[in-house]
Amino acid sequence: MNRPLSSTVYILVATVLLVLALVPFDPLISQRAQALPEPIVLFNQRITDFGTFAWMIYGSGTLVILAFIATRTVKAENTVQKLRTGRRLALYFLVTIGSASALVHTIKFFIGRGRPEVFADYGAYALQPFASDWLFQSFPSGHSAAVGSFFGAFAMLVPRLRIVFALGALTIGVTRVIVGAHYPSDVAAGLLTGLWTAIMTAFFFARRNWLFRLDEKGWPRPKSTAQGQPVPPEPK
């Protein structure tokens, strides 16, 4: 099995196992999270929308990405390389976040899980496949998929800060449970879906020698760190 395929399998298996482990505890964790002291709930309500796809593509999340691209392009040797690097960084973020959005909304449509908001009427495991009702679009969490792809992309580009990015994604994911928008298993599935898109997009780019290259183990590494060797000029 080649490396991209095996990585896909590992992530999918991890997602399934984690979701299955959390599902039995979804109602209990959800209700206790929503019953936390009011100041905690209010704080989570204030920060939870940092996990929307709209914030990342149209809001201040774009400024974060542009600032990151700017710091990377200034290291290029000439104008042509600066433009090429900037274009490919922008494309990497766009493909990663965009594919995560498309994938998670497709899964939502086919599964149609009821949100915690309808727990009293339908329970924690109500399914209405193909429903367009927001109340039945709980699995997986779109916010969590968004932050999973957003921070996942940064983690692939700056491996030394992966723990920081992972904590950022997890923080926003937890807010979705505390504000009563999702169950824990929804969040886990969303985070891992977003991470999967970041990794698979990096593999796609590495095969074209864009931004990444494959290390000795076949894993995509940013060119500035892969194998600890100098960065070769990118192909036109």
- Give tens-digit pLDDT for 52-101: 777 777 676 888 898 999 988 887 778 888 899 999 999 999 999 999 99
The CA R_g of the chain, rounded to the nearest whole Å, is 19
**Per mean pLDDT, which range of 2-6, 10-14, 112-116, 139-143 is the poorest?**
2-6
Distance CA 40, CA 74 (A): 41
Question: Regarding predicted confidence, which is higher, 77 or 13?
Answer: 13
Res 156 pLDDT > 80: yes
Distance CA 84, CA 68 (A): 15
**What percentage of the chain reaches a pLDDT higher than 90?**
70
> For the residues 160-169, what does the mean pLDDT come to?
95
Give the residue carrying structure tokens 């542009």. Answer: 66
The three-state secondary structure class of 217 is coil
Q: Which of 72, 57, 65, 67 is nearest to 90 (CA)?
A: 65
Determine the pLDDT at residue 196: 93
Determine the pLDDT at residue 222: 93
> For the residues 187-197, what does the mean pLDDT come to?
95
Distance CA 16, CA 188 (A): 9
Determine the pLDDT at residue 3: 57
Type of residue found at 144: S
The residues pairing with 213 across neighbouring beta strands, listed in sequence order, are: 221
- Sorted by where each begins, the domain ranges of the chain are 3-226
Question: Regarding predicted confidence, which is higher, 233 or 164?
Answer: 164
Dihedral of alpha carbons 144, 189, 207, 223, sign: positive
State the Cα torsion 124-129-134-136 to the nearest 10°: -10
Quote the tokens at residue 77. Answer: 């040797």
For 207-217, write each residue's pLDDT tens digit: 999 999 988 87
Type of residue found at 22: L
Quote the tokens at residue 53. Answer: 């796809």
Q: Are 189 and 15 within 8 A, CB to CB? A: yes
Q: Are 203 and 220 within 8 A, CB to CB? A: yes
Type of residue found at 110: F
